[in-house]
């Protein structure tokens, strides 16, 4: 069962309740009110999460959060797990 479009494990997020986030698959727009390009991309393609995409991992996901100090690899690995794919 996937929890997000990008590979974030929402069930272990410590801020989820604080910001009233229901997880992007269950929300029309992200809790912050802006646009998440990864969410939009997946939904436009009819995908549950990035791991189902033929372009996975794309540049957008691979660079997501780097400017804020986040490592994208855990999200990429989680999408692979949800898609039941091996890391190549």
pLDDT tens-digit series, residues 35-67:
999 999 999 999 999 999 999 999 999 999 999
Our count of domains for the chain comes to 1
In a domain, 60, yes or no: yes
In a domain, 64, yes or no: yes
The whole domain housing 69 covers 10-83
Three-state SS string over 32-73 comes to CCCCCHHHHHHHHHCCCCHHHCCCCCCHHHHHCCHHHCCCCH
In a domain, 16, yes or no: yes
Q: Is the pLDDT of residue 20 over 60?
A: yes
Which of 23, 19, 20 shows the shortest CA–CA distance to 11?
A: 23
- pLDDT at residue 85, as a whole number: 74
- Structural contact between residues 82 and 75, judged by C-beta atoms closer than 8 angstroms: no
Position with higher pLDDT, 30 vs 75: 75
In a domain, 79, yes or no: yes
- Structural contact between residues 72 and 80, judged by C-beta atoms closer than 8 angstroms: no
């Amino acid at each position: 069962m996937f929890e997000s479009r990008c590979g974030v494990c929402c069930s272990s997020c410590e801020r989820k309740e604080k910001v009233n986030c229901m997880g992007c698959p269950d929300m029309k727009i992200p809790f912050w009110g802006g646009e998440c390009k990864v969410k939009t991309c997946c939904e436009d393609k009819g995908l549950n999460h990035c791991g189902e995409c033929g372009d996975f991992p794309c540049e957008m996901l691979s660079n997501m959060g780097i400017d804020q100090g986040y490592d994208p690899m855990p999200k990429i690995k989680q999408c692979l797990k949800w898609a039941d794919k091996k890391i190549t």
